[in-house]
Structure 1
Amino acid sequence: MTKEFDLGALLAERGAERYELHTKYLNHQLPRMLHTIGFDKVYERAEGAHFWDADGNDYLDMLAGFGVMGLGRHHPVVRRALHDVLDAQLADLTRFDCQPLPGLLAEKLLAHSPHLDRVFFGNSGTEAVETALKFARYATGKPRILYCDHAFHGLTTGSLSVNGEGGFRDGFAPLLPDTAVPLGDLDALARELKKGDVAALIVEPIQGKGVHEAPPGHLRAAQELLHKHKALLIADEVQTGLGRTGDFYAYQHEDGVEPDLVCVAKALSGGYVPVGATLGKDWIFKKVYSSMDRVLVHSASFGSNAQAMAAGLAVLSVMENEQIVANARATGEQLKSRLAALIDKYELLADVRGRGLMIGIEFGRPKSLKLRSRWTMLQAARKGLFAQMVVVPLLQRHRILTQVSGDHLEVIKLIPPLIIGEQDVDRFVDAFTAVMDDAHSGSGLMWDFSKTLVKQAVANR
């Protein structure tokens, strides 16, 4: 007799093999890296902004799955919507009909950006970017895309072409014709536009790598320049969108900015079903889909699937009903101001920046001789090791999950679920203060651990 599939039994029987399975069948460097920095935890359960391990210890999530868990994990409204859509047994993905859920989600999304008219649904942030790049090139008839130094727009070939980090691009050429310009440099933008072959500039209003914000007035000035040269402005809001920065979209912090195309993903999923969306102006979509012959010229097999659409609708409903954007703005300001107040206290702490619940904490060269010599040793081995030294004790000793904000960066990025509150802020600030106290003592566990990081950095050269 055939044994019926039982997911619970499978996990109970083989869940303990998780790290061995990854080592054998998936990216073998991931478990190796996690083991090296002591991140090889076993999390058994999650809810909201917290995880729990097998011993019942509670961990605070300040990473939100790289921004995917905007509402935290397992929000009851999103869960219920997914149960409901599965129970409805819809005739989904026939490909030759028009289901109601994609239209309803598009309508809801577009209400937050009234200058945009249409939506294409894919399955991820990088697909949303790929769509925007294709649409911009077709609509303008021009080949070249501009992007900003240190940008991150995804890792598929098209989105990799507008990735500002060489480490991601190395070995994957040739890519699309593209050119990087410094974030905030209007002169560099103008020089490129005068060449007459630029389709668009794609920009993160706040860059994820390092948490760098476009200077005040830059996006509007860039938009005017682009439109003067019949090029488009693409706003990549994959991480910054849906309330992360204290407005629904980060570009909305600046008056008069109306991108031609906007990319969203991550938090729209509710943390359950991958989804991406490219919002755009009517004329762009009508140019791409210019005839019935071109109806499938750009499509995605799983795009607009019922589960993803239901999750997105539930997420937008929760954001409205629970005042998620307002909470991100208020809680983010509280967290940022409390951290900024520590700059004068700790010489290793150089800057605190960002908006809403997207905050960068940057470390820099200390003044005192003892700390300066240790800092120099770390920098000689590999830039970014001090930030890693901070991330590790935050998890190991204080059970708080954070991340270094990019390779070779001395920056920690905080992108917690947008539902965190004052108690979570207190917990993080207290833990961060304790870690900084330890670092400034010039000895202790942090600096002992630095030897492990230095050995690993040297071995990987």
Structure 2
Amino acid sequence: MTTEERAAGTEEFDLGRLLAERGAERYELHARYLNHQLPRMLHTIGFDKVYERAEGAYFWDADGNDYLDMLAGFGVMALGRHHPVVRKALHDVLDAQLADLTRFDCQPLPGLLAERLLAHSPHLDRVFFGNSGTEAVETALKFARYATGRPRILYCDHAFHGLTTGSLSVNGEDGFRDGFAPLLPDTAVPLGDLDALARELKKNDVAALIVEPIQGKGVHEAPPGYLRAAQELLRAHKALLIVDEVQTGLGRTGDFYAYQHEEGVEPDLVCVAKALSGGYVPVGATLGKEWIFKKVYSSMDRVLVHSASFGSNAQAMAAGLAVLSVLENGEIVANARATGELLKSRLAALVDKYELLSDVRGRGLMIGIEFGRPKSLKLRGRWTMLQAARKGLFAQMVVVPLLQRHRILTQVSGDHLEVIKLIPPLVIGEREVDRFVEAFTEVMNDAHSGGGLMWDFGKTLVKQAVANR
């Protein structure tokens, strides 16, 4: 661009050219201007890949190698990347040139998306649209405290509900909370412990219990009957049930919402996000009962008492409508149920074969693979070495060869956890199940062989863990 062109602003912005010229600098740019620890971590574990394009459940690098995505952007890409229906909806809404975000009118798309969402939870009546899962949780916490007039929120040990200050207050991992106090009044109770819940409710200061039907950290499912029994306890003490479906909702577990696997559960507030826009546009939604919304928005003076500048924007609403259209008209949810059961059963069959493998659990296409202390003396010594340095290193040792040798992207399910979580796009099928199980079996064979590259890499992780203490 010449000086004259720059001054006149006449040269059209060319994104493709910018990426072609500067795309190779991606890791250096991130290290210089963003979170400098991220590229450092990726370099350390060999995750510093350069992906050139993506479609469905796959990435491709510049050499044309494909990578199977079993992470789905932490669950955001539930329909896979670049789903044609969602892509077309976004092109259509941009071409429509809507008078979006005037703030002083009522556009049709938010109402239409709210109507479609509420059709899947008919006991709920209204929706607030924000921009993320943590905003959906913040909304639920605010609404619950205002509607009940009580300050305290109960949550479950090991929960994850987001990282803004309110949602951090109901985060069950100390590593996320450390250094950010004071937070909201809160109390953790064990997932499934009704006695602990009852003890806290008797203090009559609890606004709500917030719970994930299946916890993302560790993939722990609420025990059968727990949500229904907790709901009855909460109602008896005039407290609310908030269900966080940010990761479990929209078909992930083989039903539209995970709480719907248990009959009779009707939460007062439900939080959704992630998959709602097909991965294209940030969006979050808090669904709730009419009396709660009417109490919060009790007069015209309070019409903006809770709002979001980009909430209900046309692109997010159009993407959400397209996603729901795919979920309702296709076989996506049924596929998540069937393919998830196939994947889980094939992995569970390996538990008796490998002593380092202790459990396979989950529902639909949200599966946790847990590793545990082996019985044989040689493996036990190596396991103890890793645990002494930092719990969770063995799971990381599994994740790395899955990517490096088999081109499969997975994640460790949480800090200091020996659990891998699988949350792939809901469009995967038997071919992807075969590929993952075969690769995982090879990695387990290597881990149990008494040598191999895995344990050599384990020594690198141990050194890194000790150095970071």
After TM superposition, the score normalised by the length of structure 1 is 0.99
User: By how many angstroms is 1:4 displaced?
Assistant: 2.0
Q: Which residue of 2 aligns with 1:190?
A: 198
Distance in 1 between residues matched to 2:179 and 2:354, nearest whole Å:
40
Give CA-to-partner distance per residue, 1:396-437, whole Å, 9 cap, x none: 000000000000000000000000000000000000000000
Deviations 1:165-208 (A, max 9, x none): 00000000000000000000001000000000000000000000
SS in 2 for 1:60: strand
Query: Could you tell me which of 337, 340, 344 is aligned with 1:336?
Result: 344
Deviations along 1:63-83, one digit per CA (max 9) or x if unpaired, are: 000000000000000000000
SS at match of 2:342: helix
The 2-side partners of 1:298 and 1:320 are apart by 31
CA displacement 1:240-288 (0-9 Å, x = unmatched): 0000001100000100000000000000011100000000001000000
User: Following the alignment from structure 1 to structure 2, what is the Cα–Cα distance between the partners of residues 4 and 316?
Assistant: 36
* Helix, strand or coil at the partner of 2:265: coil
Secondary structure of the structure 2 residue equivalent to 1:33: helix
Supply the distance in 2 between the matched residues of 1:119 and 1:54 (Cα, whole angstroms): 43
SS in 2 for 1:14: helix
Look up the match of 1:60: 68
1:204-253, Cα deviation, whole Å (9 max, x unpaired): 00000000001000000000000000000000000000000011000001
Taking the TM superposition and a 5 Å limit, the aligned residue runs for 1:417-432 are 417-432=425-440
Give the deviation of 1:40 after TM superposition: 0.1
How far has the Cα of 1:161 moved from its partner?
Answer: 0.3
Deviation at 1:322, TM superposition (A): 1.7
Aligned-pair distance for 1:323? 1.3
Aligned position for 2:248: 240
C-alpha displacement of 1:321 = 1.8
Q: Secondary structure at the match of 2:440?
A: helix
CA distance in 2, matches of 1:123, 1:329: 28
Q: 1: CA distance between counterparts of 2:458 and 2:164?
A: 34
Mean Cα deviation higher: 287-296 or 316-325? 316-325
The TM-score, its normalising length taken from structure 2, stands at 0.98
Measured in 2, the distance between the counterparts of 1:291 and 1:215 equals 41
Dislocated runs of 4+, deviation >4 Å:
none
Measured after TM superposition, the shift of residue 3 of structure 1 is 2.8
> Which aligned pairs between 1:22-421 and structure 2 lie closer than 5 A?
22-421=30-429
> CA deviation digits over 1:332-367, x for unaligned, max 9?
000000000000100000000000000000000000
Give 1:320 shift: 1.4
Separation in 1 of the partners of 2:111 and 2:392? Answer: 45
Give, in whole Å, the separation in 2 of the partners of 1:22 and 1:326: 39
- The separation in 2 between residues aligned to 1:224 and 1:216, in whole angstroms, is 15
Partner Cα separation in structure 2 for residue 143 and residue 444 of structure 1: 54
Q: Following the alignment from structure 1 to structure 2, what is the Cα–Cα distance between the partners of residues 444 and 102?
A: 55
Task: Give, in angstroms, the shift of residue 442 of structure 1.
Answer: 1.2
Shift of residue 301 of structure 1? 0.2
Instruction: Quote the RMSD (CA, aligned, Å).
Output: 0.4
Separation (CA, whole Å) in 2 of partners of 1:289 and 1:333: 44
State the partner residue of 2:7: none
Question: 1 CA distance for matches of 2:166 and 2:182?
Answer: 10
Map Cα deviations across residues 281-340 of structure 1 (whole Å, 9 max, x no partner): 010000000111100000000000000000000000011122111000000000000000
**Among the aligned pairs, what percent are the same residue?**
93
Farther off after superposition, 316-325 or 148-157: 316-325
Inter-partner Cα distance in structure 1 for 2:338 and 2:178:
40
Q: Report the secondary structure of 1:80's partner residue.
A: helix
CA offsets, 1:348-390, max 9 Å, x none? Answer: 0000000000000000000001100000000000000000000
CA drift of 1:17 comes to 0.1
How many pairs align?
460
Counterpart Cα distance in 2 of 1:396 and 1:55: 15
How many angstroms apart in 1 are the aligned matches of 2:53 and 2:254? 29
**Distance between the aligned counterparts of 2:193 and 2:166, measured in 1?**
24
